[in-house]
């Protein structure tokens, strides 16, 4: 487990899956904003659920976010597209609606960065988010990420093309932050 100031990142448990499915995936509009792939109905407990518990992978590290003070499941976090040769990865988080706006996002991003840079020895982490996702932009800035550019109207989200912002953080910047 990885500990932050307010959250703990741990392996996903089978008991987490129905909660994440119901609150993060089955909310079509929210999921459409969080994933570049089109939403498709996935029955609870399906092997191809985005939250299905699976073994370790060299390309992805999935975590459940737990609010330390309460022990409650707060959401999910992951490093994906892990490239061991170039020592890079992408970062993503999604918090349950009842856990948003409580300062957990920046702590989650910081702990994921620690995992990527210190545990995995990566050199660069990147995240992409919608330009109007102010909470994620604040969390990324709070963890030391730099805006590297805007991809104009690059994401089809719930009936419209919207801008995406690309942010990056290098290992040496993480050590200074």
For the stretch 72-101, pLDDT in tens is 999 999 999 999 999 999 999 999 999 999
pLDDT, averaged per 10 consecutive residues of the chain (177 residues), comes to 97 94 91 89 83 89 97 97 98 96 96 98 98 97 98 94 98 90
Q: Which pLDDT belongs to residue 145?
A: 98
Phi then psi for residue 165, to 5 deg, are: -110, 135
Q: Are 119 and 3 in contact (CB under 8 A)?
A: no
Measured in whole angstroms, the distance separating CA 131 from the mean position of its chain's CA atoms is 16
Q: Which pLDDT belongs to residue 152?
A: 98
Which residues is 78 bridged to in the sheet? 62, 92
Helix (H, G, I), strand (E, B) or coil at 71: coil
Query: Between the CA of residue 105 and those of 6, 21, 84, 91, 162, what are the distances in Å?
Result: 10, 19, 26, 12, 23
Q: Which pLDDT belongs to residue 60?
A: 96
Q: Full-prediction pTM beyond 0.75? A: yes
Q: Name the DSSP class of 156.
A: E
pLDDT in tens, 54-68: 888 999 999 999 999
């Amino acid at each position: 487990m990885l500990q932050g100031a307010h959250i703990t990142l741990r392996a996903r448990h089978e008991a987490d899956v129905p909660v994440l499915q119901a609150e993060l995936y089955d909310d079509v509009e929210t999921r459409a904003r969080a994933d570049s792939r089109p939403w498709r109905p996935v029955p609870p407990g399906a092997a191809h659920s985005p939250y299905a518990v699976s073994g370790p992978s060299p390309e992805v590290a999935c975590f459940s976010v737990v609010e330390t003070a309460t022990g409650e499941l707060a959401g999910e976090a992951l490093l994906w597209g892990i490239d061991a040769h170039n020592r890079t990865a992408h970062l993503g988080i999604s918090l349950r609606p009842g856990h948003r706006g409580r300062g957990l996002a920046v702590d989650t991003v910081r702990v994921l960065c620690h995992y990527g840079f210190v545990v995995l020895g990566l050199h660069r982490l990147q995240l992409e988010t919608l330009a109007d996702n102010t909470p994620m932009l604040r969390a990324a800035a709070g963890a030391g990420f730099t805006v590297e550019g805007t991809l104009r109207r690059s994401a089809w989200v719930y009936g419209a093309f919207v801008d995406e912002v690309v942010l990056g953080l290098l290992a040496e910047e993480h050590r200074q932050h």
